[in-house]
Each structure stands twice: as C-alpha cells, then as structure tokens.
C-alpha cells in the first residue's frame, strides 16, 4: 500500500459532472489523489458545488487540493455562477497594484466561499505578437516587468483570501503560435531571451508561488531532441529546480492535451513527467486515462528502484506542502445568497474602478 498511496499522491484529477457517480467514488477510493479540479461541467449552484466537494472530501480526506482555473476574463469557470471577472490583461493595463491585488482577492474570496482552495493562476506568459491569437487577454503584458507588476499583487490578493496560486506556463508560451491543447508549439527563442524575459517572472516570484505549471511546448534551440517541457529533465530538474531554485510544487499541465499526447501515450507521458522531477500530474477528463496513468506509475515503481525513489520523493514533497499550506479542518458552510451578492457587487465596483482609470488615461493622452 505504500507505493500505491505514493502514486495517488502524485495526481490531480477531474470529475465528470455535478455530482459523483458510483464509478467515480470507486476509482477515487482506489487512487486517493492529492486533489481534484473543477470545470464548468461540474458547476451548477453554490450549494451543489459545496456538496460535490464534501463528497470528494469524504473519500480522499479534507486536506486535499480543491482546484479550479479562475484567471478572470476568458478562463473563468465561475463567471455564470458568481460574476464575470475582468481579465488579467484588463487589470494589468491600469498599472495599478491596488487593483491587481483586489483582482486576486476577489477571485480568492469567491473560491473560498465555494469550498475551493487553489486556482491555477496567474498566467506568467508574455503577451508577445506570436501568441496573441492563442493567449489573447490571458497574458498580462508584453514585458516581464508588466507581468510581474500585475502578478505579484495578484498573488498577495489570493493569499489575503487564503487561496493558493499557480504560475503558468513555465518556461513560457509567449513565443508560441499554436495552442498546446491541440498540438505542441515549437517556440523559437534562445536561452538569453527565455532566461531574461520569459522566465524572469518565475525568477522574481518563485518564492511566492505554491505551484508552478510546466507547459507542453518545445524549445528546439535548447534541446537537440525537443519534446514538451512538461516531460523534460532539462526544463524541470536542471532549470526550474537547480538553476532557478524553485522549492514549491511542480505541476504538469493537463496530460490529456494534444501538446503531449500527440507524441506519446498517457503512460509514457506520466512516467516521463515524474522521472523528470514533476511532483503532481494533472489529468482532467477521462477516467480511463487517469487509471492508465496510475497503473503505469505503479508498475514502473514496482519494476524500477530508481523510479520508485522518484515517486517516494515527490510524494513526500507533496505531503509536506499539504501540511504547510492546507488547513486540517473540513469545508466551511455553503455560501449564502447574501455572500454571493456581496462578491458580485464588489466585482462591479472593481470593473467601475478599472473604467475610471481607463477613462483618465485616455483623457491624459
């Protein structure tokens, strides 16, 4: 059971609908993942979300990562339930640290009301011309300085609300022209560009980031046989851990995405990610793929002593982070209508303040 428990600790998984099926209950009991991630398909009402999270907590324990993608703008799973949050680009364009912190705090408070504790935000990719059609308003700005200026106070706002954040997508998708959901981007940037520009937000903020998510992009100028960074020892062990000195949790982007599965099986991807130094792999949709990855990691650990040590080290690191970052008590009470209305009103005020700054900026030109 030791290896089985360790392997489960390396997984964050998705669920199919608004309540657990009997099949999901069964495989959650088997895998015992470190976390679950919710999408729009899992969200109907505040009471329903709370009940769903309570169900998962009863199976995998209260001290697990309850995650969602809540960036604001285009990627905002709670926009229909609570209120549409402004995008990172919109907030960052004001150059106001106060508004960026409010943005993070409001996103954090709506998550906390629903029983969630982790958002995979902020995006730290640069808003470069190459990726404009892919990233759109998800990226805060075209320079590392503008990204840091937004992300640093945004992370403080999340912490104010007791929510964990995640910088993504290391080492940077700003130079990519393709969407890694469908296929693997090959980013034609050299080491100095990546280190001094794309990776600068991670270098400056790595102590503030509970998670860093690694991309499914390749960087052919840096590796002779480039594959996705998410399964690369060079990017994860050598650069992110050793060169950059990151000590938090390293998370793969969803391993079901075409950017990684276009070149290898889910079994190969899961094993390669953990062997490269990843702590947690994310599999968000298909239970069959989750179980295949779980069994592949288990089998590799049973047959390879060196891989088993990788699993044990990663699992120990995850457990230590959970003890440090997550409260031991269970979920709070479900959000009330009044609480949700208060959040909606504050989001409206944030949008109003952003508009005032935009108007003043235009007037001053």
Residue 276 main-chain phi, psi, to 5 deg: -80, -15
Q: What tokens does 21 get? A: 């099926």
CA angle in degrees (0–180, nearest 5) for 79-84-85: 115
Distance CA(290)–CA(11), nearest Å, equals 9
Write the CB contacts of 51 (distance below 8 Å, at least 6 apart in sequence): 19, 334
The separation between the first and the last C-alpha atoms of the chain, rounded to the nearest angstrom, is: 66
Q: What is the DSSP letter of 230?
A: G
Omega prior to 169 cis, within 30 of 0: yes
Q: What would you report as the CA-atom Rg of the chain, rounded to the nearest whole angstrom?
A: 20
Distance CA(131)–CA(168), nearest Å, equals 15
User: What stretch of H or E contains 352?
Assistant: helix 337-364
- Which residues does the annotation mark as catalytic? 181, 253
Distance CA(106)–CA(281), nearest Å, equals 28
Pick from 358, 338, 364: which is nearest to 46 by CA?
A: 338
Residue written as tokens 């968000």?
A: 284
Chain centroid to Cα 42, Å, comes to 17
């Amino acid at each position: 059971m030791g290896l089985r428990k360790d392997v489960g600790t390396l997984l964050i998984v998705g669920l199919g609908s608004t309540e657990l099926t009997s099949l999901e209950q069964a495989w959650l009991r088997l895998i015992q993942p470190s976390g679950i991630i919710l999408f729009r398909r899992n969200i109907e009402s505040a009471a329903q979300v709370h009940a769903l999270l309570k169900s998962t907590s009863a199976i995998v324990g209260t001290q697990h990562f309850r995650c969602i993608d809540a960036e604001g703008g285009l990627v905002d799973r709670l926009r229909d339930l609570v209120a549409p949050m402004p995008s990172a680009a919109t907030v960052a364009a004001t150059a106001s640290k106060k508004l960026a912190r409010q943005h993070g705090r409001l996103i954090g408070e709506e998550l906390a009301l629903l029983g969630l504790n982790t958002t995979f935000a902020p995006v730290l990719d640069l808003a470069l011309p190459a990726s404009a059609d892919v990233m759109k308003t998800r990226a805060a700005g075209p320079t590392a300085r503008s990204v840091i200026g937004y992300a640093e106070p945004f992370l403080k706002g999340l912490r104010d609300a007791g929510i964990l954040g995640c910088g993504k997508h290391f080492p940077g998708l700003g130079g990519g022209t393709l969407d890694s959901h469908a296929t693997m981007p090959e980013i034609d940037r050299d080491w100095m560009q990546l280190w001094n520009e794309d990776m600068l937000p991670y270098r400056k903020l790595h102590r503030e980031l509970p998670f860093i998510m690694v991309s499914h992009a390749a960087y052919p100028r840096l590796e002779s046989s480039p594959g996705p960074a998410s399964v690369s020892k060079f990017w994860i062990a050598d650069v992110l851990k050793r060169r950059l000195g990151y000590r938090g949790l390293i998370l793969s982007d969803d391993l079901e995405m075409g950017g990684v599965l276009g070149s290898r099986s889910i079994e190969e991807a899961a094993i390669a990610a953990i062997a490269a130094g990843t702590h947690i792999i994310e599999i968000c949709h298909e239970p069959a793929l989750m179980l295949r990855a779980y069994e592949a990691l288990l089998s590799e650990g049973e047959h390879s002593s060196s891989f088993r040590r990788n699993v044990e080290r990663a699992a120990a690191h995850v457990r230590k982070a959970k003890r440090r970052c997550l409260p031991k008590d269970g979920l709070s009470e479900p959000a009330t209508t009044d609480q949700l209305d208060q959040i909606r009103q504050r989001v409206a005020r944030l949008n109003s303040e952003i508009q005032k700054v935009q108007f003043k900026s235009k007037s001053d030109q």
